[in-house]
């Protein structure tokens, strides 16, 4: 009952975030989802430490979001999302931008506050990981980041854009490298989920239509194939009794449907055409290449990296 109740409340909280027209209403619903994340992870029975770690680390991001909301309200005397637009660069806009970015990337599991995600993946149920960290949380953080850079604090070419792009690049590469040395199937998938967050951040950091659309499109694609991979991992763990890769093998014939679903999702997340992962990654790459032709300064020199 606790499990299904938490799932329904989390879904309602996520819906409230998307429908909120007021910044502090958004904060309330955002906290509802965070609390449900703790309850769902703790429902696994042996994942109390993982649930506490997730609650503390996402709570740091939520605290940053509350502080950013207070700064924005103090600077604009408004909490209506449609009316807030802080143009120019001042200490208020820079601090608010960094705080909201911290909140969004912590919820997403981006570097450096990403360690809660692999821990939760290892000790909680696969269905929990498929529903919240790999699904609902991805929708929430990218929604917050898009309205941040496009409306609340319109971002232009410069230092903050470069910081966001470097964060996305580092998350994408480092998490993928760490995933290569994992011995637990669910931890491997968790680090790979972190890596996918880097693609989304990098696309949004481009600030061009093709880049932002690529980041949002990749988020939607990720919500499709990443939960599928986590559910496949849960089916394997239930059938084999372990998620340790060194002790797994030869399951293709015993679990043909799971094998087919896992292969299809793996090809999609790898960006193999004509699957959906290829389309969104290609849009992000197009946005990066545009840095070399349409922007000057440091961005035009760093785009090949």
Minimum mean pLDDT range among 22-36, 162-176, 291-305: 291-305
Helix axes 137-147, 91-108, angle to 10 degrees: 160
Q: How far apart are CA 131 and CA 55, in angstroms?
A: 16
99 is written with which tokens? 């705080």
pLDDT at 205 over 90: no
- Asked if residue 134 lies in contact with residue 222, where contact means CB atoms within 8 angstroms, the answer is yes
- What's the whole-number average pLDDT of the chain? 84
- At 59-105, the pLDDT tens digits run 888 888 889 888 888 888 888 888 887 776 677 778 888 888 888 88
pLDDT of amino acid 203: 87
Q: Which of 49 and 254 is assigned the larger pLDDT?
A: 254
> How confident is the model at residue 268, as a pLDDT?
92
Q: Report, as an integer, the average pLDDT of 143-169.
A: 81
Residues of the chain above pLDDT 70, percent:
93
Structure tokens at 269: 């997340």
Rounded CA separation 266/189 (Å): 10
Residue 34's pLDDT is: 86
CA 264 – CA 271 distance, rounded (Å): 11
pTM for this prediction: 0.87
**pLDDT for residue 236:** 92
The pLDDT, as a whole number, for residue 178 is 92
Give the model's confidence band at 266: pLDDT under 50 very low, under 70 low, under 90 confident, else very high: very high
Q: Is the pLDDT of residue 260 over 90?
A: yes
The confidence score (pLDDT) of residue 296 equals 57
Query: What gap in Å lies between CA 106 and CA 206, rounded to an integer?
Result: 20
Whole-angstrom distance, CA of residue 116 vs CA of residue 71:
28
Q: Give whole-number Cα distances, 277 to 191, 199, 201, 226, 287, in Å.
A: 17, 11, 16, 11, 16
**Contact of 196 with 217, CB cutoff 8 Å:** no
Q: What does the pLDDT read at residue 261?
A: 94
For residue 247, CA distances in Å to 44, 86, 237, 243 come to 23, 55, 11, 8
Report pLDDT for 46. Answer: 60
Mean pLDDT for the stretch of residues 95-121? 85
């Amino acid at each position: 009952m606790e499990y299904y109740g938490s799932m329904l409340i989390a879904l309602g909280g996520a819906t409230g975030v998307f429908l909120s027209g007021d910044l502090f209403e958004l904060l309330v619903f955002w906290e509802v989802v965070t609390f449900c994340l703790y309850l769902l992870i703790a429902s696994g029975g042996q994942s109390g430490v993982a649930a506490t770690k997730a609650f503390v680390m996402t709570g740091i991001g939520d605290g940053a979001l509350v502080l950013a909301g207070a700064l924005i309200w103090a600077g604009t005397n408004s909490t209506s999302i449609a009316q807030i637009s802080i143009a120019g660069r001042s200490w208020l806009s820079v601090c608010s931008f960094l705080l909201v970015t911290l909140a969004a990337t912590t919820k997403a599991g981006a570097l450096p506050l990403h360690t809660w995600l692999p821990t939760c993946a290892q000790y909680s149920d696969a269905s929990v990981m498929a529903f919240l960290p790999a699904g609902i949380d991805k929708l929430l953080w990218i929604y917050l980041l898009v309205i941040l850079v496009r409306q609340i604090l319109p971002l232009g070419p410069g230092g903050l854009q470069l910081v966001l792009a470097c964060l996305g690049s580092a998350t994408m590469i480092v998490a993928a490298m760490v995933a290569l040395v994992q011995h637990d199937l669910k931890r491997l998938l968790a680090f790979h989920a972190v890596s996918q967050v880097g693609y989304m951040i990098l696309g949004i950091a481009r600030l061009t239509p093709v880049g932002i659309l690529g980041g949002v499109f990749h988020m939607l694609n990720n919500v499709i194939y990443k939960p599928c991979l986590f559910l496949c991992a849960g089916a394997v763990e239930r059938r084999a009794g372990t998620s340790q890769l060194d002790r797994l093998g030869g399951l293709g014939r015993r679990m043909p449907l799971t094998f087919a679903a896992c292969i299809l999702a793996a090809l999609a997340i790898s960006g193999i055409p004509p699957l959906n992962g290829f389309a969104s990654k290609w849009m992000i790459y197009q946005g990066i290449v545009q840095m070399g032709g349409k922007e000057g300064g440091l961005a035009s020199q760093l785009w090949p990296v």
